[in-house]
Structure 1
Amino acid sequence: MNTSIIDPLQGDFPEVIEEYLEHGVMKCIAFNRRGTLLAVSFLFLHPNSAEPPPCRSGGIAKELRDNDCSSPITSICWSKCGNRILVSAADKSLSLWDVSSGKRITRIVLQQTPLQARLHPGSSKPSLCLACPLSCTPMIVDLNTEDTTYLQVSVSEKPTEPNPASRNKCSDGSTSFTPTAACFSKYGNLVYVGNSKGEILVIDSKDGEVRAMVPISGGSVVKNIVFSRNGQYLLTNSNDRVIRIYENLLPPKDEIGALNEMNESLSDLNGVERLKALGSKCLTLFREFQDAITKVHWKAPCFSGDGEWVVGGSASKGEHKIYIWDRAGHLVKILEGPKEALIDLAWHPVRPIVVSVSLNGIVYIWAKDYTENWSAFAPDFKELEENEEYVEREDEFDLVPESEKVKGSNVNEDEEIDIVTVEKDPAFSDSDMSQEELCFLPASPCRDVLEQQYKFLESSSKLMDSNNSESTFSEETGANGHTMNHASSPVEDDAVGTRIKRKRKPSEKVLELQAEKVKKPSKSSKSSKTKSKSLFDESNGNGFYYDELSDE
């Protein structure tokens, strides 16, 4: 939003449900980088232009269908430039699609069901992705070669391929299925993994080596781990019902180099102690968010586009609640929706808009409830609580007021004005791929189905049969019984190949003449009336006659 016209007393966060989208059963959502396209359960929605908030029109820009997949979609991820999209499904498949053409690039099948899959953020056309399966370690998958690199989830354990016999077992002997959360850093140099022991592992994405470890207070299972848009903050959602925000201390573009320098300075430490010391220099705890009264679990927490707000959905059944905190840790708003459980949540990259998905498959769009503030548009505008008598200045309506004659012009009229250079949006200042970025999808008209064409032909033929006698009579006679000109009103139907006559609506001048002749009937009008009746009698009641001169 334009921060210069926002009321400082109102927060820049959504407040009410502005719109809802309903198209089948939707399960997961994802905005592209600019926020102009929204992928919803493999459906693309786009607005009319770039200025209004997205999804205002709710029109489907493209629909992609995978004939090889009939299972539910578990996650959707856009590439950085929006040209590709990665979809993970419950049938253990990963599918990479080209958004413009609507064609599938590749499809591979894993050994486990991927709950979440993310493309590498450092490339415009990435082939690497990070997949988090249901019951095994996270993996980096090369979609071109299908090579898989398994990542460590614990310092004491080495990464191994999934094996049903090697699953974790609880104290009572039952098998536990604990999914592991993981995400790329801003440029994809590192992978941050949250495990079931309440630890954050910092792993090199190229060789899979654990470079640092950050223990989480409480030691609870990490369910979600998300980076902010600028890469400055890291969010974790643990099983102890606490959302934690960590500040990233590493430089975004040279994370590996900074870790190597710190590693050399800690040569006197070994093993886990060194990893913990490096972790303290990578991440530091910034804030903690929780509901101390209800102690609810959180669903799909994330940052706002500018990182100023933190949002999380309630995981309680039967309620659609969204909690919004500022980065200082204060709860500023609770959005209450319909009595439907919330399953997914996303904040628009650049606008105060939140999109949530309910258990029934309906997408709700939350937007800000704006109040008019006219003083923000004119600096000399004054808002009045009640009417006041206005006293004008003596020179107010002069062509050149006296007050302006005294003031000198501060504008340099000889200075050249640059109208060519385009200032970059600070929200996308790090992008060097703006020329390749896909922001909108062109509208492509679709051909009519053959069944609709057959229905049109049948309806046209019925119309021709019903108007056959009427059209024949109107072709032969005019208002006064004379022959009508065929070039004045015929409409040719190409689909049937016949001529259907339609009477033309009289103009305003003709209606005025009719009104005058009705008031003053003449002999000619009486004779024409008689003639018209005789013509109708001769037609045996099968004709249609429209007399422009008589009032009957």
Structure 2
Amino acid sequence: MNESLINPFTLSHPTAVQTSLYAGATFARFDPAGRFIAAARVNGSAEIWDLETRAPIRWLDGHVKTITSIDWSRNSRYLLTSSKDWNVLIWDLAAVCDPPQRYATVRFDAPVVSASFHPKNSQIILVLLATGEAYVCDTRKQHRSRVELLETIIDDGEDEEGPIRSPITTARFDPAGKNIFVGTATGCILVFNTRTKIMIARHKISGAGTMKGMDFAKAGRRLVTNSSDRTLRQFLLPKYPTPPADADASAPFVFLDGELEPTHRFSDPINRTAWHAMCYSPDGEWLAGGAADPAGHKIYIWDISNDGQFASALDGGREPLVYLHWHPTRSALASTTNQGSILIWHCPSPERWGAFAGGFEEVDENVEYAEREDEFDIEDEAVLFARKMRAEEEAVDIDTIVAGTLAPEGGGARSGNRGGAATPVGDGSVPPVDLDGKFSTGGEETTDLETAWAEEEPDGDVRGGWRMKIIMDNEAAEFY
């Protein structure tokens, strides 16, 4: 069977532009299902494009200044937009009105640099302000709060004004949502527990400078950072301690402190260009970096499964790249140009008929071929005829009754058990069952504390449990 139909990432990475969307976008992100792409516009509005029809289907107009970030909830029902107008808006795409109604509005006292949903509950958001402050905002009724993430600093008494905390320049949830990773202007990575907001680790990155961005592989073990020294660094993260259930941010906690050595460094040794964005493929085997090249649209791809070897450089034309995002399920990329176009990259796979038939041979010209009558028979006709003749010669025993082949009077299953119930297969043991984070092992339920906290008061973002209204050419349609 053709391997590309089983796992497209085992063959190659995106190599060519499939289509270009003229969206007037500053950046764009795929939704978790990979069917839509959300584009932020300069005028403060956002659009949702359908990748199948290559047309916009919803318009979100709520900001008065430039949008700085976009994020999707885990099942694509809610969309988050942050802006320089100090607001974070959450849109409910299940609303039938046009434009969709605002699910929530969170206002701050400074321009918002970025905002993102918690991976398991869209009512928890992480917000980074232009003033270098990061907040975790919880809009759930039982946990309503807005907590600032504060770096734990040991005061040695030498500074009369007290300890000085470094400004935060980037912030991300890890894929599981248990921890929050923030980068500072002094080249440090700080790790906070999401539930308690306690700092559990601090890593100094030697020579990195200001941290500009971070991205995680889907499994959450690998982290790549972008810093002001024009180098991408990949790290294998250690296992972090979990604060106790009754811990709070004011309680003292011994955190991990030390340097974190990168496993790989990625840079452009010739042009020494900086990086606007970087992202992993869904399987974590490829890393793509969007170069901040003012003269062209350059994407560099490295093969992580092959010790981080450089794979190829993609050229998207003369319009410089400003953002990059990998498709969540396929070998595809979305790169945004400074002129607002969204380039969709894919991996074209040529037809290989030999992969389906081992004896198939490709020819340049048509060849006349005389097909035998029995050429495609599963078995030869002579073999089938001989088997039929032997079966007719065998004597059939119609007098012997085999024990256990008659059904019991109660109408039960055909088995040796005369009680009417089918005989169990195997040892009768029941495998562990996953019940939304709860695992049953031998009758005892164990619950992950962090997951249970995040999934309290669900947000209604259920897969297949909502529908979006599509607006195209002044006509509306609904789908699940």
Q: TM-score, normalised by structure 2?
A: 0.69
- Tell me, which stretches of 5 or more residues in structure 2 are unaligned? 41-45, 156-163, 245-251, 388-436, 439-450, 476-480
Q: Which has the higher contact order (CA 8 A, sep 6+)?
A: 2
SS in 2 for 1:375: helix
Q: Is the 8 A contact 1:82 1:437 kept in 2?
A: no
Provide the C-alpha distance between the structure 1 equivalents of 2:461 and 2:137, rounded to a whole number of angstroms.
27
Provide the C-alpha distance between the structure 2 equivalents of 1:16 and 1:236, rounded to a whole number of angstroms.
26
1:385 positional shift: 6.4
Q: Is the 8 A contact 1:34 1:439 kept in 2?
A: no
Q: Is the 8 A contact 1:36 1:440 kept in 2?
A: no
Q: Is the 8 A contact 1:29 1:40 kept in 2?
A: yes
The one of 43, 53, 58 equivalent to 2:47 is 43
Q: Is the 8 A contact 1:243 1:289 kept in 2?
A: yes
Provide the C-alpha distance between the structure 2 equivalents of 1:437 and 1:38, rounded to a whole number of angstroms.
19
Aligned partner of 1:206 in structure 2 is 195
Which residues in structure 2 correspond to 1:260-409 (within 5 Å)? Answer: 275-276=256-257, 285-327=262-304, 328-384=307-363, 395-396=374-375, 401-402=380-381, 405=384
Deviations 1:375-433 (CA, angstroms, capped at 9, x unpaired) = 1233442334677786866842679524874999xxxxxxxxxxxxxxxxxxxx99999
The one of 231, 237, 243 equivalent to 1:248 is 237
- The aligned amino acid for 1:371 is P
Deviations 1:465-504 (CA, angstroms, capped at 9, x unpaired) = xxxxxxxxxxxxxxxxxxxxxxxxxxxxxxxxxxxxxxxx
Say whether residues 1:231 and 2:220 are aligned partners. yes
Please identify the structure whose Cα radius of gyration is greater: 1
Q: Is the 8 A contact 2:209 2:228 kept in 1?
A: yes
Provide the C-alpha distance between the structure 1 equivalents of 2:462 and 2:148, rounded to a whole number of angstroms.
35
Distance 1:149 1:8, change over 3 A: closer
Distance 1:374 1:28, change over 3 A: same
Provide the C-alpha distance between the structure 2 equivalents of 1:130 and 1:321, rounded to a whole number of angstroms.
30
Q: Is the 8 A contact 1:204 1:211 kept in 2?
A: yes
- Tell me, which stretches of 5 or more residues in structure 1 are unaligned? 47-54, 158-165, 169-177, 261-269, 409-428, 449-552
Q: Is the 8 A contact 2:79 2:92 kept in 1?
A: yes
Aligned partner of 2:75 in structure 1 is 81
Provide the C-alpha distance between the structure 2 equivalents of 1:228 and 1:202, rounded to a whole number of angstroms.
17
SS in 2 for 1:87: strand
Distance 1:12 1:202, change over 3 A: same
Aligned partner of 1:129 in structure 2 is 125
More strand by share: 2
Measured on the aligned residues, the alpha-carbon RMSD in Å equals 3.7
1:70 positional shift: 1.6
Provide the C-alpha distance between the structure 2 equivalents of 1:107 and 1:292, rounded to a whole number of angstroms.
45
1:447 positional shift: 5.8
Provide the C-alpha distance between the structure 1 equivalents of 2:9 and 2:224, rounded to a whole number of angstroms.
27
Provide the C-alpha distance between the structure 1 equivalents of 2:315 and 2:385, rounded to a whole number of angstroms.
58
- The aligned amino acid for 1:136 is G
- The aligned amino acid for 1:78 is W
Which residues in structure 2 correspond to 1:455-466 (within 5 Å)? Answer: none
Aligned partner of 1:118 in structure 2 is 116
SS in 2 for 1:378: coil
Provide the C-alpha distance between the structure 1 equivalents of 2:232 and 2:93, rounded to a whole number of angstroms.
34
1:316 positional shift: 2.1
1:225 positional shift: 1.2
Q: TM-score, normalised by structure 1?
A: 0.61
Say whether residues 1:443 and 2:470 are aligned partners. yes
Which residues in structure 2 correspond to 1:392-541 (within 5 Å)? Answer: 395-396=374-375, 401-402=380-381, 405=384, 436-437=463-464, 441-443=468-470
- The aligned amino acid for 1:33 is P
Say whether residues 1:97 and 2:91 are aligned partners. yes
Provide the C-alpha distance between the structure 1 equivalents of 2:332 and 2:68, rounded to a whole number of angstroms.
23
Say whether residues 1:15 and 2:15 are aligned partners. yes
1:305 positional shift: 1.5
More helix by share: 1
Provide the C-alpha distance between the structure 2 equivalents of 1:256 and 1:85, rounded to a whole number of angstroms.
32
SS in 2 for 1:206: coil
Q: Which moved more, 1:222-231 or 1:9-18?
A: 9-18
Q: Is the 8 A contact 1:5 1:376 kept in 2?
A: no
Aligned partner of 2:423 in structure 1 is none
- The aligned amino acid for 1:326 is D
- The aligned amino acid for 1:58 is R
Provide the C-alpha distance between the structure 1 equivalents of 2:269 and 2:237, rounded to a whole number of angstroms.
27
Q: Which moved more, 1:178-187 or 1:308-317?
A: 178-187
1:36 positional shift: 1.4
- The aligned amino acid for 1:227 is F
Q: Is the 8 A contact 1:21 1:58 kept in 2?
A: yes
Q: Is the 8 A contact 2:279 2:325 kept in 1?
A: yes
1:84 positional shift: 0.9
Aligned partner of 1:30 in structure 2 is 29
Q: Is the 8 A contact 2:9 2:330 kept in 1?
A: no
Deviations 1:152-178 (CA, angstroms, capped at 9, x unpaired) = 356458xxxxxxxx998xxxxxxxxx6
Distance 1:4 1:352, change over 3 A: closer
Alignment coverage as a number of residue pairs:
379
SS in 2 for 1:369: coil
Which residues in structure 2 correspond to 1:145-184 (within 5 Å)? Answer: 147-153=145-151, 155-156=153-154, 180-184=169-173
SS in 2 for 1:306: coil
Q: Is the 8 A contact 1:108 1:143 kept in 2?
A: no
Q: Is the 8 A contact 1:37 1:439 kept in 2?
A: no
**% same residue:** 29
